[in-house]
Structures are given as C-alpha cells and as structure tokens.
Structure 1
Amino acid sequence: MRLGFIGTGAITQAVVTGLLRFDFPLERISLSPRNARTAAALAALDKRVQVCESNQDVLEASDVVCLAVVPQIAADVLSELHFDARHHVVSFIAGISIDEVRRLVRAQGKVVRAIPLPAVAEGKGSTAICPADHVAKSLFSALGQAVEVDDEARFDALLAVTATMASFYAVLEAQASWLVRQGLSDDAARSFLSGYSVGLAHDTTRGERSFTELIEHSMTPGGINEQVHDELSKRGTYAHFADALDRVLMRIQGRA
C-alpha cells in the first residue's frame, strides 16, 4: 500500500506511529510538508516514510490518501489539489460529509470517513469508519478496534461521543483532587487512578457483558459502589451526558 497524508498533525502522527509500530505492510508513507517538525520526526522512524515538497506530491506518490486537515481550512487546501479515480480517500475531517468531501476532491474514487484517536499510536482505542470499507478497516483494525457503520447519522453520533475525552479526564481530576485533600501526594493520586482506570477499561473488553451488567457486577447491596452510583443517579449526573451529547450532535450536523 502507498499511503499518503494531507495534513501532518497529532492524528497523522498517531496513525503513522501505530502503523510502523505494528508492522503494517506498507510500500511507502508520504507526508505533506506543512508541519515540518512532526513530518521530519516521522520520517526519521522508517526509511519508507518520506516528506513531500507539496500536498500534490503526496497525491502523486499515493493510492490511499488520508485527509487530516482541520475543517476550517479543508476547502482551501483541497481545492488546490488534483485527485484522480485511483485515489482511495479516507477523511478524518470532522463535520464534513462524504458528499462534501467528494465535491471538494472532485474525483470518482472511493471516499470514506474515519475517526482515529491518539491511542491508535499504541494500538488502543476505537476508530469509527463510514461506510464499511475494507481498506480503512485493514488500516485501523491493526491499530485497535475498527467499528464500521453505513449511515452518516450514526457515524456523527460516534463522533459526538468523542467529545467526552476532556470530561473523562475531568472526572479523574476531581477524584485526584479529593485524594490530595485526604493527604496523598499528586503523584500517588495520579498513579493510583491511572492504573485503576486501565483496569476498569480492560474489563469492558473481556467477554460480552453489557455496560449495564458491568454496573450491576460492580455493586454489592448496601456497598460503597452502590452508594455513589445511587447518589449520582438521583442528582441526574448521568442524564447530563445525554443532554450535552444531543447538543454536540446538533452542532456536528449543522443544526445548532
């Protein structure tokens, strides 16, 4: 596979690092020159990685092209490029539909959307793909879990859920701050909570138990897990997540 990236930011860095780390079969990886420092660092990892002189040169050297520019500049960047029918386009651009990407690239090749997250560098996490596509699935299955959907509304819902990353860390920060007030050091609080979170996340990958079943399994009648869960439920804490995600989805779909 000859793989190219238009845009060399954090997500490109994570995807390329993961593909190299897990020995994904590649003939060449071509990078745009926009972020020279990141591109040079990636090129130093493997001789198959090359930094091109222009974005058009990336296209000329690639069959599969990942679009990894921010939405605000996507139209300007892509309008200057000449794609052709051989290009298999994988768009990481949030909020821009497949039809809009196809209009911007002005080519008849396959266009799919994907949401890779930073953890792909470590072969962790999930990547949503729309529509189902064997090329994108082969890439991202090598870097964690690849989840295919054939409806952009469902894809947008998965994208909306990725807006909870900061909230996830904020919950950990609230717990860490509480531990510090109990006399633990910052390092001890962070170390404990990091390992604790990894253990809980790992449990979700074992077997086929639903999240509801995991909740029930974590609680004993009258126990401390039940106490906290009941208190947060009564305060409507969990319901706030759905309300916030509804508003994020409306924003992603241009309805707000």
Structure 2
Amino acid sequence: MRAGFIGTGTITQAVVTGMLRFGVPFERISLSPRNARTAAELAALDGRIHVCASNQEVLDNSDVACLAVVPQIAAEVLGELEFDARHHVISFMAGISLDQLRGLVRTSGKIARAVSLPAVAEGKGSTAICPADEVAKAIFAALGEAIEVDSEDKFDALSAVTATMASFYAVLETQASWLAKQGIDYADARAFLSGYCVGLAHDTTRTEQPFSAMVMHCMTPGGINEQVHTELSRRGAYAYYGEALDGVLRRIRGRA
C-alpha cells in the first residue's frame, strides 16, 4: 500500500503513528507539507515516510488517499488537485457527505468516510467507517475497534457520540474536585481516578454484555453504586445525554 495524507494534523499524526506501532503493512507514506513540523517528526520515524513538496505530489505517489483537511477549506484544497480512478479515497473530514466528497475529488474510484480519534496511535481507539471498506478496515482494525456501517445516517450517529469527550472529562473533574474538598491532594485524586477509569474501560473489552447488564452487575442491592445510580436516574441526569446528542445529530445533518 502506498498511502498519502492530505493534511498533516492531529488525526494524521495519530493514524501514521499507529500504523507504525502496530505493523500495518505499507510500501510508502506520503505527507502533505502544510504542517511542516508534524510532517518532519513523522518522517523521522521511518524511512518509508516522505514529506512531499505539494499535495499533488502526495497524490501522485499514492494509491490510498487519506483526506484530513478541515472541512472549511476542503473545496479550496481539493479543487486544486487531480485525482484519478486508481485512488482509493478515505475521508476524515467531518460533515462532508459521500456525495459531496465524490464531487470534490471528481473520480470514479472507491471512496469511504472514517471518523477516528487520537487514541488510535495507542491502538486503543475506535473508528467508524462508511460504507464497508476493506482498505480502511485493514488499517483501523489494527489500531483498535473498526466499526463499519451501511448508511451515513448511522455514521452521523456514531460521529455524534464523539461529542461527549469534554463531558467525560468534566465528570472526572467534578469527582477530583470533590475529593480535593475532602482533603486529598488534587494530583493524587487525578491519579486515582485515571487508574479507576482505565480499569472500567478495560472491563468493557472483556465481555460483550450490554452496558445495561454491566450496570446491574456492579450494583449490590442497597449498596453505594446503587445509591448513586438511583439518585442520578431520579434526577434525570442520564436523559440529558440523549437530548444533547439529539442536538448534535441535528447539527451534523445541517438541521440545527
């Protein structure tokens, strides 16, 4: 595989790093020169990684074209490039549909969308792919979970739940601040909660049980887990997540 990345930001850095770390086979990786520092750092990792003089040179040296520019400049950047039918296009650009993507790349070659998170660099991320795509699956299955869906409505829904990152950390900050009020040093509270969350996340990978079953499993009748869960449920705390995600999904689909 000769892969090229148009745009050399956080996601490109994570994907290329993960490909190297977990042995995804490739002949060459060509990088956009736009973010020179990141591109140079990646090129220093492996002799098969090259920084090109232009985005067109990236395409000319690639069969798999990964598009990782911000959506606001996608038309400008891609409008200057010449794709052809050999290019297998994988887009990381949020909010640009397959039909829009086809119009931007102006080729009959295969195209797919993917939404990936920085944790793929550590082999711990999840990537949504639409439609099912053997090349994208081969890359991202090695970097964590790769979930293929058959419609952009489903892909949009998976994209929407990635909007919960800030709220995830906000819950941890609430707990850390509470512990600090109990006299525990903030750094110790943070370290404890980090390890605690890693353990919980690891448990999700050891079973295919529904999360609802895991909720019940960790609650002893009359116990402290049941107490907190019951209190939050009574106050409707969990319901707010669904309502917030409905709003995100409307925005993704241009209906906000």
Pairwise TM-score range, normalised by the shorter structure: over 0.9
Counterpart code for 1:251? R
- Cα deviation code 1:177-215 (max 9, x no counterpart): 111111111211111000100100111111221100000
Q: Which residue of 2 aligns with 1:119?
A: 119
For the residue of structure 2 that corresponds to 1:225, the secondary structure is helix
Q: Which residue of 2 aligns with 1:228?
A: 228
**TM-score if structure 2 supplies the norm length?**
0.99
Counterpart code for 2:158? L
Q: Does 1:146 align with 2:146?
A: yes
Q: Does 1:80 align with 2:80?
A: yes
For the residue of structure 1 that corresponds to 2:42, the secondary structure is helix
Tell me by how many angstroms 1:254 deviates. 0.6
Structure 2 distance, partners of 1:251, 1:207, is: 33
- Cα deviation code 1:101-121 (max 9, x no counterpart): 010010110010001100000
Tell me by how many angstroms 1:227 deviates. 0.6
For the residue of structure 2 that corresponds to 1:142, the secondary structure is helix
Q: Which residue of 1 aligns with 2:26?
A: 26
- Cα deviation code 1:135-154 (max 9, x no counterpart): 00000001001000011000
Say how many residue pairs are matched.
256
Q: Which residue of 1 aligns with 2:158?
A: 158
Unaligned runs of at least 5 residues, structure 1: none
1:161-176 alignment to 2 at 5 Å? 161-176=161-176
Q: Which residue of 2 aligns with 1:210?
A: 210
Q: Does 1:130 align with 2:130?
A: yes
For the residue of structure 2 that corresponds to 1:50, the secondary structure is strand
Segments of 4+ moved more than 2 angstroms: none
Tell me by how many angstroms 1:24 deviates. 1.2
Structure 2 distance, partners of 1:25, 1:9, is: 22
Structure 2 distance, partners of 1:173, 1:29, is: 39
Counterpart code for 2:9? G
Counterpart code for 2:99? D
Counterpart code for 1:248? V
Tell me by how many angstroms 1:22 deviates. 1.0
Tell me by how many angstroms 1:17 deviates. 0.3
Q: Does 1:245 align with 2:251?
A: no
Counterpart code for 1:95? G
Q: Does 1:90 align with 2:95?
A: no
Structure 2 distance, partners of 1:195, 1:225, is: 18
For the residue of structure 1 that corresponds to 2:124, the secondary structure is coil
Q: Which residue of 1 aligns with 2:59?
A: 59
The alignment yields a C-alpha RMSD, in angstroms, of: 0.6
Structure 1 distance, partners of 2:127, 2:208, is: 19
Counterpart code for 2:92? F
Q: Does 1:17 align with 2:12?
A: no
Counterpart code for 2:35? N
Structure 2 distance, partners of 1:163, 1:8, is: 22
Structure 2 distance, partners of 1:85, 1:100, is: 17
Structure 1 distance, partners of 2:189, 2:77, is: 45
- Identical pairs, percent: 73
Structure 1 distance, partners of 2:77, 2:13, is: 19
Tell me by how many angstroms 1:23 deviates. 1.6
